[in-house]
Amino acid sequence: MTTNEAAREADWRRATELIRSAGTVALACHVSPDGDALGSMLGLGLALARTGKKVVASFGDRVFAVPRLLRFLPGQSLLVEPSAYPAEPDLMITFDASTMERLGLLAPHAGKAGELVVIDHHVSNTRFGTVHLVDPGAASTTMVVDELVNRLGLPIDREVATCLYAGLVTDTGSFRHSITTPAAHAMAGRLLATGLRPEEIARELWDRSPFAYLRVLGTALGRATLEPDAVGGLGLVWTSVTRADRAAEGLPYDEVEGMIDVVRRVDEAEVAVVLKEDDEGGWNVSTRSKGAVDVARACAALGGGGHSRAAGFSSALSVADTMAALRPLLAPEGSRS
Query: For residues 71 and 73, what is the distance between their CA atoms, to the nearest angstrom?
Result: 5
* 37 binding partner (options Mn ion, ligand AMP, none; Cβ < 5 to 8 Å by kind): Mn ion
For position 241 contacting Mn ion by CB under 5 A, the verdict is: no
In the bound complex, what is the minimum distance in angstroms from residue 140's beta carbon to ligand AMP?
10
For position 36 contacting Mn ion by CB under 5 A, the verdict is: yes
Residue 221 contacts residue 246 (beta carbons within 8 Å): no
Residues in 113-142 at the binding interface with ligand AMP, rule: CB under 6 A: 122
Query: For residues 17 and 19, what is the distance between their CA atoms, to the nearest angstrom?
Result: 5
Residue 55 or 103: the one with the smaller Cβ distance to ligand AMP is 103
Candidates 125, 306, 315, 322: give the one binding ligand AMP (CB under 6 A).
306
Residue 99 or 141: the one with the smaller Cβ distance to Mn ion is 141
Candidates 312, 315, 323, 331: give the one binding ligand AMP (CB under 6 A).
312
**Is 285 exposed, middle or buried (CB count within 10 Å of its CB: 0-12, 13-18, 19+)?**
buried
For position 134 contacting Mn ion by CB under 5 A, the verdict is: no
Candidates 93, 310, 323, 326: give the one binding ligand AMP (CB under 6 A).
310
Q: Is 32 helix (H, G, I), strand (E, B) or coil?
A: coil
Query: For residues 243 and 156, what is the distance between their CA atoms, to the nearest angstrom?
Result: 41
For position 57 contacting ligand AMP by CB under 6 A, the verdict is: no
Residues in 92-111 at the binding interface with ligand AMP, rule: CB under 6 A: 102
Candidates 314, 325, 329, 332: give the one binding ligand AMP (CB under 6 A).
314
Query: For residues 162 and 195, what is the distance between their CA atoms, to the nearest angstrom?
Result: 9
In the bound complex, what is the minimum distance in angstroms from residue 303's beta carbon to ligand AMP?
7
Residues in 267-286 at the binding interface with ligand AMP, rule: CB under 6 A: 286
In the bound complex, what is the minimum distance in angstroms from residue 30's beta carbon to Mn ion?
6
Q: Which stretch binds ligand AMP (CB under 6 A): 80-88, 155-163, 310-318, 328-336?
A: 310-318
Helices marked H in the chain — which ranges?
3-21, 35-49, 107-112, 141-151, 158-172, 182-192, 198-206, 211-222, 243-249, 260-263, 295-301, 319-326
**Is 336 exposed, middle or buried (CB count within 10 Å of its CB: 0-12, 13-18, 19+)?**
exposed
* 106 binding partner (options Mn ion, ligand AMP, none; Cβ < 5 to 8 Å by kind): none
Residue 22 or 38: the one with the smaller Cβ distance to ligand AMP is 38
In the bound complex, what is the minimum distance in angstroms from residue 153's beta carbon to ligand AMP?
30
Residue 39 or 312: the one with the smaller Cβ distance to ligand AMP is 312
Query: For residues 80 and 215, what is the distance between their CA atoms, to the nearest angstrom?
Result: 34
For position 260 contacting Mn ion by CB under 5 A, the verdict is: no
Q: 294 vs 36, 287, 306, 307, CA distance in Å?
A: 21, 10, 10, 8
Q: How many other C-beta atoms can be found within 10 angstroms of the C-beta atom of residue 47?
A: 24
User: What is the DSSP-derived secondary structure letter of residue 99?
Assistant: S
> How many residues in the shown chain lie near ligand AMP by CB under 6 A?
12
Collect contacts of 329-333 with beta carbons under 8 A, ≥24 apart. Answer: 329/297, 329/298, 329/301, 329/302, 330/230, 330/231, 330/236, 330/271, 330/293, 330/295, 330/298, 331/231, 331/232, 331/293, 332/231, 332/232, 332/234, 332/270, 332/292, 332/293, 333/292, 333/293, 333/294
- Per-residue contact flags (x/-) with ligand AMP for residues 148 to 177, judged by CB under 6 A: ------------------------------
Candidates 18, 22, 26, 37: give the one binding Mn ion (CB under 5 A).
37
* 310 binding partner (options Mn ion, ligand AMP, none; Cβ < 5 to 8 Å by kind): ligand AMP
* 276 binding partner (options ligand AMP, Mn ion, none; Cβ < 5 to 8 Å by kind): none
For binding to ligand AMP (CB under 6 A), which residues are involved?
102, 122, 260, 286, 304-306, 310-314
